[in-house]
Chain A
Amino acid sequence: MNPLVLLLSLFLYLGLLFLVALLGEGRWRSLAQSPWAYTLSLAVYATAWTFMGSVGWAATEGASFLPIYLGPTLVLLLWPFLQERLLSLARAHRLTSWADFLYLRFGHGLLGPLAAGFLVVGLLPYLALQLKAIAQAFLFLRGEEEPLTDIALPTALLLALFAILFGTRRLDPSERHQGLVLAVAFESLVKLLALLLVGGVVLWQLGSPFPKLQNRPELLSLLLPPEGLAGYLEWASLVLLSGLAFLFLPRQFHVSVVENTDPQHLRLAAWAFPLYLLLINLPVLPLALFGRLLLPEGNPDLYVLALPLELGNGPLALLAFLGGVSAATAMVVVESLALSILISNHLLSPLLLRFRALGSLLLWRRISILTVMLLAYLYFRLAGEAYALVAMGLISFVAVAQLAPAGLLGLFWKGATPQGALAGLLGGIAVWAYTLFLPALARSGWLPPFFLEGPHPLLRPEGLLGVRGLDPVTHGFLASLTLNLALTLGVSLFTRRMALQEERTGEVEELAALLRRVLGPEAEESFRHQARALPGREAAGLAETLLAGSVGPATAKLLLLSVTRAVPPEALREEVEEAARESRELRAYAQALEEARRELAEAYERLKALDQAKDELLAAVSHELKTPLTAVRALAEILEANPDLSEEERGRFVSLLAKETVRLSRLVEEILAYTRLQAGVPLARSPTDLRALAVEALALVEPLARERGITMESHLAEVQTLTDRDRVLQVLLNLLHNALRHARSRVRLELLANKEVLFRVSDDGPGVPPQARTLVFEPFQSFSGGTGLGLFLARRLVESLGGRIWLEEGEGATFAFTLPLEVEHEDSGGGR
C-alpha cells in the first residue's frame, strides 16, 4: 500500500480524533457525559490485543482468547457490590487510582508508592504491546517488515502528545477530561465497526470457514474445548485474571471511576459493555480460521490486515489498520495518563514537595507521560520481539491482579491491616517478577537462560514446586495470587490495625491561600464557595480532598500540615464526655435514691409515731370520756332511783351533771381542734386587734374565775397584726383555762409588743414539777386531771402561726408565747 496514503490516512484519523476531543470539551460536553459515552469509554479495555492479538491467539490456541472478555462480563454483573461502592468512595475522597484507595484505606506510607511504581513497571509490556501493534501494522501495509522499532518511536511520541494535550491541560482536582472520554468512546465505535466490517466482508466473500476444515484436520483442534485439568485450570484462571484486570487496570479505574459523572450510568454499562465485547469477538474465530487456511505462513497477529489484502480489498485493509490504531491509541493515551497521575501523586509529588518544586506539577505530569511512553518503547526494543501480543498483555494483567487481595479485602473486610496489605503486595510482586517478568526478559535474550531454569528444579520460574504442564501465565498468576492472598490474610490476622490518623483543623483563609498556591485561583474560588459555612475541621477535610485529587493523598496531607493543627479525635472526645455525663447522672441518681430512701424511712417513722399517737389518743380519749360519762350516768341513775330526794340534794346532783357535761363538751372541742390541726386546715389570716382579742378571752373565762374565786389581772398593749384570729383566741383560752385550773388566787395576762408579739399567762399555783417540765407540751400528759391536750394544742397552734411557746422559770407557772408582727409565709399545716 502506498505509504503516503497510509500516512495521510493516519494523520487524518488522528486529526479527527483531536476534533472529537475538542468538541467533547466544548459543544458536545453533554454527549461526553451521557451513559452511552461512558459505556463506550469502558471499551478502552479492548486494545490492539483484542483487535489483532485475539485473532492471532484464536488462530494458534483456539477458544482460550474468550475468557479475557468473559471475566469483565462477570465483574460488571457485580456492579451493585463493587463499582457502586468504589464510585461513592472515589467521589467522597477524590480517588484517582487504586493506589489512592490503598493509601486511604490502610494509611501506610509505603503502599501508595509501591503500588504506583509496580504498576508502571508491570504495565510497560502492555504499552509496548500497543506500540508494537501499530508499528507492525504500519510496516506490514507498507510492505516492509524491518526495522519495526523505527516507526514505533514516532508513534509513541505522537500518542504522548495526544495524552498531554487532552489529559494535562490544567490541574483539575476532579481529574475529569470530557474531551478524552468522547475521543475514547469514538475510538471504541471505530474499532468495533472496523472489526465487524472486516469479518462481515471476509465471511461474505469466502463463506463459512467450518466446512473447509474437513480438509485440514490439524485445525480442528482449534474448535475443541481446553483439554484435561490443566486446560480447564487455564480457562478458569483466565476468566478470573481478566476479571481482576478489568477491575484493577489503571486505565479502567480512570474511565470507569474517575471520569464517571453519574453512578446510574453503570446500569447501562452492565449489559451494554458485555454486549460490546460479545460483538467485537464475533468475527475473531472466522478470521483466525481463514487466516490459517489462506495464509499459513503469515503472522497470525496480522490476519486482520492480511485477509482484506488477500481479497484485494485495499480500503478494507486501511479501515482495519485504522481500527487497530484506534484500539491502540485509546489504550495508550488513557493508560499513560492514568500512570502519569499515579507517578505524580505517589512518586513525584512527595519528592517535589521536599525540594519545594511543587509549583511545576503540571510540567512534571507531562514529563511523566513522555517518560512512560519512552520506557514502553524501551521495553519494546528490549523484550518486545520475544512474545506474541497476547503473551505480553497477559504479563501485565498478572501484574495488575496483584492489587486485588489488598484492594478487595480492603473494601469488604475490616480486619485487613496495612502490614497484611504490604506483605501480600510484596510477596505477589516478587513471585510475579520471578515467574513472569524475568523469564520474559530471558526469552528476549536480555537476561541469561538461568532466569528460565532457576537455581533448583523445584524453583524453576515457570514450574514452581515441580508443577508441570501449566501454561507459564496461568502458573505465574496462580502462584503469585495465592501467595499474595495468603500473606494478606495471614499477616492481617496476626497484626493489629494502626490507629486512625489524627484529624486536622484550620482557618479557611490559610487553606484557601494554600489551594491558590498549589492548584490556582479557580480551585481557591471553588474552595471558598464550598467552605463558606463549614467549621475549621470540615474545611480542612475539604481542602485535603481537593488537594488529594491533584497531588495525591500523601502529598495533600503533608501540605496541610503547615496550615492546620491537630484536633482531638472527635469520637474519643465524645465518648469521654458521654461517659463523664453518664457517671455524673449515675451519681446524682444514686444520691437522689439515697435521699428518697432516707425520706421514706423518716416518713415511715413518722407514720409509725402517728399511728402510735393515734392509738394513744384513742385510749386517752376513751379514758377521758369515760370519767365524765360514768359520772353523768351515775348521777342520772341516782336521780332516777331516788324520786324523793330533797330539793337541795337534787339541785346539787343536777349541778354536778351540768359540770360533767361541760367537761365533756370541752373534751370534745379539744379533740375536734386537734383533728382539725392534724387535717391541715389552712390559716385564715386577717388584720387582728390582739388587745381586743385578749380582752375577749378574759371575758370568756371570767365566769370560771369568778366561780373559783380567782382574780384576773391583765396588762395589755395595743397591738395589730396579720394572723388567724380564731387560733390565737384558742391558744389564749387554753392557757387561761390551764392557769385557772392551777391558780390559788390570781391569774395574769400580759400582752407586749417589740419586734414580735409576746403573750404571757401566769398563775400563783404550785407550778410544774421539774420532772414534768420537758413533757408539759406533749399530748395527753395531764398532771391535774385535764385532757392533756390543751398545752399540746397550744404549741401546735402557735407554731402554725409562726411563733413559739415555752414555759418560763419562776414561782407558779408562767407560759409565754410569741407571734410575728407580720405573718405572711407560715406553714398552714402547723405540724412538725
Chain B
Amino acid sequence: MKERALALFLLALFLFLFPVSLVFPAPLGPQGLPPLYLYLYVSWGLVVLLAYLLFRRP
C-alpha cells in the first residue's frame, strides 16, 4: 500500500503544481466558468476519490 500511496502523492503533486498559466491563460471558459478553478477543484476531487478508493479498507 505504501507504493500506491506514494504514487498517489506524486500524482497529486503534479496536479497541484502543474503550471496552469500555460494551459488556462483566459479568466473565463466556455460555460462562463473560470477554467483555473475548475481544474483545481476537479483535480482535488479526483485525488480525494482516489484516496478514498485506496485507503477505505484496512
CB distance B16 to A81 under 8 Å? no
Q: Give the number of residue pairs across the A-B interface with Cβ within 8 Å.
A: 97
Q: How far is the CA of A278 from the CA of B46 in the complex (A)?
A: 11
A232-B19, A274-B48 given; A66·B40 CB < 8 A: yes
CB distance A73 to B21 under 8 Å? no
CB distance B9 to A78 under 8 Å? yes
A78-B5, A264-B58, A271-B55 given; A73·B28 CB < 8 A: no
Q: How far is the CA of A764 from the CA of B40 in the complex (A)?
A: 131
Q: How far is the CA of A154 from the CA of B37 in the complex (A)?
A: 40
CB distance A282 to B41 under 8 Å? yes
Chain A positions within 8 Å of B13 at CB level: 74
Contact with B along A252-287 (1 / 0, CB 8 A): 000000000000100110110011001000100100
The binding surface of chain A is classed by DSSP as helix
A576: Cβ under 8 A from any B Cβ: no
CB distance B51 to A270 under 8 Å? yes
Q: How far is the CA of A80 from the CA of B56 in the complex (A)?
A: 14
Contact with B along A721-754 (1 / 0, CB 8 A): 0000000000000000000000000000000000
CB distance B37 to A213 under 8 Å? no
With both chains docked as a complex, state the minimum distance between the C-beta of A157 and any C-beta of chain B, in angstroms.
Answer: 39
With both chains docked as a complex, state the minimum distance between the C-beta of B16 and any C-beta of chain A, in angstroms.
Answer: 5
CB distance B40 to A77 under 8 Å? no
Q: How far is the CA of A421 from the CA of B6 in the complex (A)?
A: 27
A81-B5, A210-B32, A285-B37 given; A225·B17 CB < 8 A: no
Q: How far is the CA of A221 from the CA of B28 in the complex (A)?
A: 10
Q: From the candidates A80, A222, A268, A271, name the one contacting B1 in the complex (CB within 8 A).
A: A80
The binding surface of chain B is classed by DSSP as helix
CB distance B37 to A77 under 8 Å? no
Q: From the candidates B17, B27, B55, B57, name the one contacting A270 in the complex (CB within 8 A).
A: B55
Q: From the candidates B2, B9, B45, B52, name the one contacting A74 in the complex (CB within 8 A).
A: B9
Q: How far is the CA of A274 from the CA of B58 in the complex (A)?
A: 19
Chain A positions within 8 Å of B40 at CB level: 63, 66, 70
CB distance A220 to B28 under 8 Å? yes
CB distance A239 to B17 under 8 Å? yes
Chain B positions within 8 Å of A285 at CB level: 34, 37
Chain B positions within 8 Å of A213 at CB level: 27-28
A208: Cβ under 8 A from any B Cβ: yes
Q: From the candidates A70, A224, A225, A267, name the one contacting B56 in the complex (CB within 8 A).
A: A267
CB distance B44 to A274 under 8 Å? yes
CB distance A223 to B36 under 8 Å? yes
A792: Cβ under 8 A from any B Cβ: no
Contact with B along A375-399 (1 / 0, CB 8 A): 0000000000000000000000000
A227: Cβ under 8 A from any B Cβ: yes
Chain B positions within 8 Å of A210 at CB level: 28, 32-34
Chain A positions within 8 Å of B34 at CB level: 210, 223, 285
CB distance A77 to B8 under 8 Å? yes
With both chains docked as a complex, state the minimum distance between the C-beta of B17 and any C-beta of chain A, in angstroms.
Answer: 6
CB distance A81 to B2 under 8 Å? yes
Q: Residue on A with the closest CB to B45?
A: A278
The A7-55 residues at the B interface (CB cut-off 8 A) are: none
Chain B positions within 8 Å of A208 at CB level: 32
CB distance B32 to A211 under 8 Å? yes
A235: Cβ under 8 A from any B Cβ: yes
Size class of the A contact interface (CB-based, 8 Å): 35 or more
CB distance A267 to B55 under 8 Å? yes
A231: Cβ under 8 A from any B Cβ: yes
CB distance A220 to B51 under 8 Å? no
Q: How far is the CA of A132 from the CA of B44 in the complex (A)?
A: 31
Q: From the candidates B5, B17, B47, name the one contacting A73 in the complex (CB within 8 A).
A: B47
A779: Cβ under 8 A from any B Cβ: no
CB distance A77 to B28 under 8 Å? no
A586: Cβ under 8 A from any B Cβ: no
Q: From the candidates A73, A80, A226, name the one contacting B12 in the complex (CB within 8 A).
A: A73
CB distance A267 to B58 under 8 Å? yes
With both chains docked as a complex, state the minimum distance between the C-beta of B37 and any C-beta of chain A, in angstroms.
Answer: 6
CB distance B9 to A239 under 8 Å? no
Contact with B along A63-84 (1 / 0, CB 8 A): 1001100100110111111000
CB distance B41 to A278 under 8 Å? yes
Q: From the candidates B2, B27, B51, B56, name the one contacting A274 in the complex (CB within 8 A).
A: B51
Q: From the candidates B16, B36, B57, B58, name the one contacting A225 in the complex (CB within 8 A).
A: B36
Q: From the candidates A63, A211, A264, name the one contacting B36 in the complex (CB within 8 A).
A: A63
Chain B positions within 8 Å of A275 at CB level: 48, 52
CB distance B52 to A225 under 8 Å? no
A66-B40, A210-B33, A211-B32 given; A80·B21 CB < 8 A: no
Q: How far is the CA of A78 from the CA of B32 in the complex (A)?
A: 36
Q: Residue on B with the closest CB to A231?
A: B21
A692: Cβ under 8 A from any B Cβ: no
With both chains docked as a complex, state the minimum distance between the C-beta of B33 and any C-beta of chain A, in angstroms.
Answer: 6
With both chains docked as a complex, state the minimum distance between the C-beta of B53 and any C-beta of chain A, in angstroms.
Answer: 8
A588: Cβ under 8 A from any B Cβ: no
A236: Cβ under 8 A from any B Cβ: yes
Chain A positions within 8 Å of B32 at CB level: 208, 210-211
Q: How far is the CA of A67 from the CA of B36 in the complex (A)?
A: 13
Q: Residue on A with the closest CB to B8?
A: A77
Contact with B along A188-231 (1 / 0, CB 8 A): 00000000000000000000101101000000111111110001
With both chains docked as a complex, state the minimum distance between the C-beta of B51 and any C-beta of chain A, in angstroms.
Answer: 4
CB distance B21 to A226 under 8 Å? yes
CB distance A224 to B2 under 8 Å? no
Q: How far is the CA of A208 from the CA of B33 in the complex (A)?
A: 9
CB distance B55 to A236 under 8 Å? no
Chain A positions within 8 Å of B55 at CB level: 267-268, 270-271
Q: How far is the CA of A221 from the CA of B21 in the complex (A)?
A: 12
CB distance B2 to A271 under 8 Å? no
Q: Residue on B with the closest CB to A235?
A: B17
Q: How far is the CA of A235 from the CA of B16 in the complex (A)?
A: 9
With both chains docked as a complex, state the minimum distance between the C-beta of A806 and any C-beta of chain B, in angstroms.
Answer: 88
Q: How far is the CA of A803 from the CA of B44 in the complex (A)?
A: 104
Knowing that A74-B16, A220-B28 touch, tell me 7 more A-B residue pairs with CB under 8 angstroms: A73-B44, A77-B47, A81-B5, A210-B32, A226-B21, A267-B57, A275-B48
A residues within 8 Å of B by Cβ? 63, 66-67, 70, 73-74, 76-81, 208, 210-211, 213, 220-227, 231-232, 235-236, 239, 264, 267-268, 270-271, 274-275, 278, 282, 285
5 A-B pairs with least C-beta separation: A223-B27, A271-B51, A225-B21, A223-B34, A271-B52
Cross-chain pairs A/B with CB under 8 angstroms, 26 sampled: A73-B12, A74-B9, A74-B12, A77-B8, A77-B9, A77-B12, A78-B6, A79-B5, A80-B1, A210-B28, A220-B27, A223-B28, A224-B21, A224-B27, A225-B19, A226-B21, A227-B21, A232-B21, A239-B16, A267-B58, A268-B55, A270-B55, A271-B51, A271-B54, A275-B52, A285-B34
B residues within 8 Å of A by Cβ? 1-2, 5-6, 8-9, 12-13, 16-17, 19-21, 24-25, 27-28, 32-34, 36-37, 40-41, 44-45, 47-48, 51-52, 54-58
